[in-house]
Structures are given as C-alpha cells and as structure tokens.
Amino acid sequence: MKTYLGELEELVLLTIAALGKEAYGVSIQQDLEARCNRSISIGALHSTITRLEEKGFLKSWLGGATQERGGRSKRFYEITQAGKKAVAEAKSVRDELWSLSSIKLSVK
C-alpha cells in the first residue's frame, strides 16, 4: 500500500467522483449526509479535502461569481488520475477480501 486512504477520505473521494462537475463544499456535505447518513462539520470536511489535495488525489478550481451565496465564488473539486487509482486499489483490496471471506452475499 503506497498511501493510506482513510475511510472518510475514501467516502469524500467517491462522493466527489459521483457528483462530477458539481462537487463543491456544500454539495459534498449534503450528499454525504443524504447518502451515507454522515453528518460532518464544514471544518472537518474541508480539512479532509485539504489532505486529499496534498496527497494529489484531488484538483480544484474557483468557479465564477454566484447569486445565491452573497456573490461568493465556489471552489470545485475533481478527482485526479492518482485519486482514481487510489480508490480502485482500495476497492480491489476489499473485493479480494470479500472473495476470500466466508460471508455469503445473501442479503439481496
């Protein structure tokens, strides 16, 4: 394992990937809350994003001026190639473990 990817980091990364072009602070937070039932403070979210940026899994750019938030611009995020590789690796580790385990996926 090259870089460790925390559970929340993985969730945030996947959410950003899922949101596509509309991934910015509030949308990520709302999505996490709706989909994963995770309530997370804006400070914690941005800290996680900052860490992911430092690891090179995310890139960001500033959007233009907006109407609904006091004219302030949004910072949009997008998953990088390295990010995609990191989540893929995490997934493959889990798949392997799943296949080896004796848990039967009989819930569905």
Partner 1 sequence: MNNPPKLARKILEWFAGAAFVEDLLGDLDELFFIHLKTKSTIVAKLLYWRGVLSLLFSYALKKRKEKATASPYSNTISLGLLQNYFKVAVRSLYQHKYFSILNAFGLAVGMSVSLLLLSLISYVQTYDDFHTNRENIYTIISERTEGVEQASWASAPHVLTDKLKENPGVKEVVQINSAFREEVKLPQGLIPLRGYYVEPNFLEVFTYEITQGNARLALSQPQHIIITESAARKIFNSTNVLGKVLELANGDLMEVGAVMKDHPINSHFSFELLVSFASLPPAQTSLSDQWMHFDFQYVYVLLRDRPTITEFQTYLDKISAENYKDLPVKVAFEAQHLNDIALGPDLRRAIGPKWEASGIIVFAIIAAMILLPACFNYTNISIARALKRAKEIGLRKTLGGVRHQIFFQFITETVVITFVAFLGALLLFYFTRSEFQKMLVASNALDLSLTVRMATYFLLFALGTGLIAGLFPALFFGRLNPIQALKNKAHKGASAMRVRKVLTVFQFVLSFGFILTLVVFSKQYRYSLNFNFGFTKENIVNVTLQGTQAQQVKNEFSKLASVQAMAMSSQVMGLGYNNTWIKDLAGDSTEVAQMFVDGNYIPLFGLTLLAGTNFPEETATTEKFIIVNEEFVKSDGVAVADAIGKTYRVEDQDLQVIGVVKNFHFAPLRYPIKKFFFRSNPAKFSYAHLKVNTADAYAMFTDFESQWKKLNPEQKLVASFFEDDLNEGYSNYVVLLKITGFLGLLALTISALGLLGMVVYTTETKVKEIGIRKVFGASVLNLNFQLSKEYLKLIVWAVGIGAPVTAYLIYLVLPRIQYYSTTVSVWDVVISTTILLGLGMLTVWSQTNRAALSNPADTLRSE
Q: Can residue 92 be called a binding residue for partner 1 (CB under 8 A)? A: no
Whose Cβ is closer to partner 1: residue 71's or residue 101's?
Answer: 71
Which phi and psi angles does 74 have, rounded to 5°? Answer: -100, 150
Whole-number Å distance between alpha carbons of 29 and 43: 11
Closest distance to partner 1 from the beta carbon of 63 (Å)? 9
Binding characters for partner 1, 39-78, by CB under 8 A (x = yes): --xxxx-xx-xxx--x-------x---x-xxx-xxxx---
Q: Can residue 18 be called a binding residue for partner 1 (CB under 8 A)? A: no
Q: At which residue do the structure tokens 């509030």 appear?
A: 26
Cα angle 80, 36, 16 (rounded to 5 degrees) comes to: 15
For the chain, list the strands marked E by DSSP: 58-62, 75-79
Q: Which of 71, 69, 60 is nearest to 24 (CA)?
A: 60
Whose Cβ is closer to partner 1: residue 50's or residue 92's?
Answer: 50
Residues at the interface with partner 1 (CB under 8 A): 24-26, 29-30, 41-44, 46-47, 49-51, 54, 62, 66, 68-70, 72-75
